[in-house]
Amino acid sequence: MTHSSPTDPNQAHSVGQPEEQLSSESLVPPEEQLTAPPTPADTPETVTQPATEVSASLWLVVAKNRRVNRDWEALLLRAPENARRCYEDLCNAPMVRRPKRVFPLKGKVYKGAWEYEVTSSERVFYVPDEENRKVLVYYAGTHPKSAPTPP
């Protein structure tokens, strides 16, 4: 009976290993994992769990630095439902166009950058990395007069 159980822990380890590799090896300082929005069922203790439980089919969403993550958290407070929808879209399908809501930016300077209209006055600018399945959020906040340039 104990001889059959070693395969189970190995399987559990191999299942958990890609998640750890995706979240830790994909982050390049000063990047940090974007704070996940709370769901109605979340308690203060479980608010950050959705962001750390990244499966192989989802994209890792990271903030360029702490300032961007703080701006994102402020956006979560101002427009929680819209920010939650934005986060889910970035995790599941960051490169899917949604008319007047999600679209790639035009011009050489903005090559590879996308804009997400969270509300009429709030924007998230990001660069999806298809190869690593990582989304780098480099701006979150009020609509700037001109789009910020990607890193």
Task: Return the CATH architecture of domain 7-142.
Answer: 2-Layer Sandwich (3.30)
**Cis, peptide link before residue 30, omega less than 30° from 0:** yes
**What is the per-residue pLDDT across 13-26, written as a single tens digit (0 to 9) for each?**
333 334 444 555 66
CB burial of residue 2 (10 Å; 0-12, 13-18, 19+): exposed
Model confidence at 45: pLDDT above 90: no
Domain boundaries, the chain: 7-142
Q: Which two tokens stand for residue 96?
A: 């899917």
**What is the per-residue pLDDT across 109-143, written as a single tens digit (0 to 9) for each?**
999 999 999 999 999 999 999 999 999 999 999 99
Alpha-carbon distance of 30 to 88, in angstroms, equals 23
Model confidence at 68: pLDDT above 60: yes
Confidence grade of residue 38 (pLDDT, cut at 50, 70, 90): confident
Alpha-carbon distance of 50 to 138, in angstroms, equals 21
Mean pLDDT over all residues of the chain?
80
